Amino acid sequence: MLSAFVNENHTDWNEQLQYVMMAYRSSEHETTGLTPNFLILGREMCTPLDVMFAMPSSIKAIPQNKWCWILQERMENAHSHVRLHTAKSMQRQKHYYDRKLHWEKYSFGDKVCVFFSRVQQGKSPKFTSYWKGPFTVKQKMSDINYVVDCGKKGMD
């Protein structure tokens, strides 16, 4: 998520981090069906709008021991909910992964993108796109290995 918001030189990631983390923690996850905030804290995030319109004092005056009991119940319910959803989600994801598993087959002259693991000096590896291209396939070595013309001598 952070890589979508940093500037071109990757120098302002620390200024964007708090906003990205707030969005992440308050978003319902497909696998769990709940937000990370609820799973860790037992409640949803308090936004500036919630602060502007304060909670009634009758809600705040819950005795501490009763609140702890309620929080523990919420957390146990949330975690059992997550275990159930995670198991279902894992089965669903495996089904779709297995259904679409196949090797791409390329021919001479096809255009492909190539994975380069080197990062330019001064740039963060976390925000760098490692895929470059399109480049041209020169030769098929096996079902999964190809010689690709990357435009530099000795870099095929």
Task: Answer yes or no: is 106 within a domain.
Answer: no
Which residue range(s) make up the domain with 134? 111-149
Task: Answer yes or no: is 156 within a domain.
Answer: no
Q: Which residues contact 24 (CB under 8 A, 6 or more apart)?
A: 1, 36
Q: Let me know whether 28 and 96 are in one domain.
A: yes
Q: Let me know whether 129 and 62 are in one domain.
A: no
What confidence tens digit (pLDDT) does each residue in 51-93 have? 566 656 555 555 556 766 787 788 788 888 888 888 889 999 9
Task: Answer yes or no: is 12 within a domain.
Answer: yes
In this predicted structure, what is the pLDDT of residue 109?
A: 92
Q: Let me know whether 115 and 60 are in one domain.
A: no
pTM: 0.42
E-strand stretches of 8-140: 111-115, 131-140
Task: Answer yes or no: is 155 within a domain.
Answer: no
What confidence tens digit (pLDDT) does each residue in 17-60 have? 888 888 888 888 888 888 888 888 887 777 666 656 665 655 55
Task: Answer yes or no: is 154 within a domain.
Answer: no
Q: Let me know whether 14 and 86 are in one domain.
A: yes
Which strands sit side by side in the sheet containing 111-115, from one edge to the other?
Answer: 111-115, 131-140, 146-149
Counted domains in the chain: 2
